[in-house]
Every structure is written in structure tokens, then in C-alpha cells.
């Protein structure tokens, strides 16, 4: 059975990284969220005293309070949070180009997207009839400027419309990969020297030493 394993890459998301989709049983989506705890009022404040400032903030509706997780800017040189949809995916070498995305279409893979959210995210693979396979991304980091590393793996989920030959719920073995990247809104380009392995890239015809390049568009 041929499996897809995501910058994203990602993507694909082959070794799935935060940017280039890779071959594994499935990709999946991980959503993270946290509620900030409010500061309790000072127990020593008399009941008829003017409420402290933090109490007034606590009484305000959630929409009026700043959300540190949302407002915090990404680290310098990081890929902006958001969803990135695969536009092209190829391996190249002297005299030859392998179109991995076109090959994926022959396997009924209609779309690949990677979502970045801080140090996490997800890789999503779309099949016909609304079938969507998702796998979490974790450990998204930028070890050097213009370089991203991430791990795709964990709880694989499938929408109800997925047949078993396209997606079955389970655990995706973790796969870590590193890519070079450039981002010029809305285009994200990731590249690496391909290392032969059991992957969609290999099945499509990529060879060790090829230059693997994936281009995404931020939604």
C-alpha cells in the first residue's frame, strides 16, 4: 500500500517535514489552544473599595482582553503561522525532472496542505469525495536562518468519507526532516537534497542526490 507521510512542510507533507510532504500512512491535524487564567482579586481589599485594575480586566468580556498566544509575533526568520497549500513538488537532476505532485494525482491524492502554529501544526492530504487524512506536526524549529526542521507523526485521523485504502485511524510513526526555505508572501518554497528512502518521492522516481523542491501558497 502506498502511503503519504507533510514544511510544510508538511507535508507534507518521503520524510515529512514542516514543509515538504512526505510519504507515510497519513498526515493529520493537531489544534492547540489554551485559556489564560485570570488574576484573582486581592483578598485583603475591602468590599466597598475601588476594584483593583486586574479585577476590572477580569470582568471584561474575553474578546476585550489581549490574547498573548495570538498576538505574539513569530520568532525572527520563522515561517508565519497559517495554512499553506502545495502548488508544485518536483525532484530535479541533470537532464531530468520528476513531477511528484502529478504522480500523487495518479494515486487520487488531490491536495496536500501544511498548517503551522508556533512549534506545532498539521499535515493534511485530500482524496476524492471529501476524504481528509491528517497527522500532527511537532517540534517545528529553525536551527539556522532559512532552515526548518519538524516532525510529522502521532494520532492519524480520517474523515468519515475515507475508504480504508486511503485512510485508517491510527498512530503515525514520527518522521523528522530538515529543509531550506524562503518565504515571500504568499509563496513558501522549501528545498533539500533528496535522500533515497521508501517514500512517495522514491516511488515517483526521485533518486538520491536529486534536488527536491516544493512550493506552497499561504491561504
The answer to whether the peptide bond before residue 11 is cis (omega within 30 degrees of 0) is yes
Average pLDDT of the chain is: 77
When computed from its CA atoms, the radius of gyration of the chain, rounded to whole angstroms, is 21
Q: What is the pLDDT of residues 52-71, one digit of tens each?
A: 444 434 444 444 455 544 44
Task: Tell me: pLDDT of 49 over 50.
Answer: no
Task: Tell me: pLDDT of 33 over 90.
Answer: no
Residue 60: the pLDDT is 43
- Looking at per-residue pLDDT, the higher value among 160 and 25 belongs to 160
pTM above 0.75, yes or no: no
Rounded to whole angstroms, how far apart are CA atoms 134 and 10? 11
Cα separation of the two ends of the chain: 31
Task: Choose among 44, 215, 21, 212: nearest CA to 123.
Answer: 21
Residue 31: the pLDDT is 33
94-116: average pLDDT: 97
Task: Tell me: pLDDT of 72 over 70.
Answer: no
* pLDDT > 70: percent of the chain: 66
**CB contact set of 47 (below 8 Å; sequence gap of 6+):** none
Task: Tell me: pLDDT of 29 over 70.
Answer: no
Task: Tell me: pLDDT of 45 over 60.
Answer: no
Q: CA–CA distance from 19 to each of 67, 84, 131, 193 (Å)? A: 27, 9, 21, 14
Give the DSSP letter of residue 55.
H
25-46: average pLDDT: 35
Q: What is the pLDDT of residues 137-187, one digit of tens each?
A: 999 999 999 999 999 999 999 999 999 999 999 999 999 999 999 999 999
Residue 30: the pLDDT is 33
Amino acid at each position: 500500500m502506498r502511503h503519504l507521510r507533510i514544511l510544510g512542510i508538511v507535508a507534507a507533507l518521503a520524510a515529512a517535514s514542516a514543509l515538504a510532504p512526505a510519504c507515510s500512512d497519513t498526515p493529520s491535524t493537531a489544534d492547540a489552544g489554551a485559556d489564560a487564567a485570570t488574576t484573582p482579586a486581592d483578598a485583603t481589599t475591602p468590599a466597598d473599595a475601588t476594584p483593583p485594575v486586574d479585577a476590572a480586566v477580569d470582568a471584561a468580556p474575553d474578546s476585550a482582553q489581549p490574547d498573548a498566544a495570538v498576538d505574539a509575533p513569530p520568532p525572527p526568520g520563522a515561517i508565519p503561522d497559517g495554512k499553506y497549500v502545495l502548488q508544485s513538488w518536483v525532484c530535479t537532476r541533470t537532464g531530468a525532472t520528476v513531477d511528484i505532485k502529478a504522480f500523487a494525482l495518479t494515486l487520487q491524492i488531490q491536495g496536500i496542505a501544511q498548517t503551522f502554529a508556533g512549534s506545532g501544526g498539521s499535515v493534511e492530504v485530500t482524496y476524492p469525495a471529501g476524504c481528509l487524512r491528517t497527522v500532527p506536526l511537532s517540534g517545528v524549529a529553525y536551527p539556522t536562518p532559512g532552515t526548518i526542521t519538524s516532525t510529522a507523526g502521532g494520532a492519524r485521523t480520517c474523515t468519515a468519507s475515507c475508504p480504508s485504502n486511503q485512510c485508517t485511524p491510527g498512530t503515525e510513526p514520527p518522521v523528522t526532516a530538515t529543509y531550506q526555505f524562503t518565504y515571500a508572501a504568499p509563496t513558501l518554497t522549501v528545498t533539500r537534497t533528496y535522500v533515497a528512502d521508501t517514500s512517495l518521492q522514491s516511488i515517483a522516481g526521485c533518486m538520491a542526490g536529486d534536488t527536491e523542491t516544493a512550493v506552497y501558497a499561504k491561504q
